[in-house]
Amino acid sequence: MANNRRTSKLDQQIDENLRRVYSDAAREPVPERFTRLLEQLRRQTKEKQSDPSGDDS
C-alpha cells in the first residue's frame, strides 16, 4: 500500500513538472527563423494560387 502511495505521489510530481515545462515552452515567442520560413511558405502558396497556368513545377 505504501508503495502505491509513493508511486502515485511520484506520478503526480511528474505530471506537474511536465505541465509546468509545457506551459513555459508554450509562452516562448516563435523564433525569428520560423516566422521568416512561414512568411516564405505563404508567399509561395499565394504565388501558386495566382498562377493561371496551374503548373506545379
pLDDT digits (tens, 9 = 90+) for 1-57: 567 777 899 999 999 999 999 999 999 999 999 999 999 999 999 998 987 665 555
Please tell me the predicted confidence (pLDDT) of residue 54. 56
Q: Domain map of the chain by residue range?
A: 2-44
Please tell me the predicted confidence (pLDDT) of residue 4. 77
User: What's the pTM?
Assistant: 0.47
Please tell me the predicted confidence (pLDDT) of residue 6. 76
Please tell me the predicted confidence (pLDDT) of residue 3. 75
Residue 51: in which H helix or E strand, if any? none
Please tell me the predicted confidence (pLDDT) of residue 11. 94
Using alpha carbons, list the distances in angstroms from residue 47 to 12, 24, 36. Answer: 50, 37, 17
Using alpha carbons, list the distances in angstroms from residue 51 to 38, 39, 41, 42, 43. Answer: 20, 18, 15, 14, 12
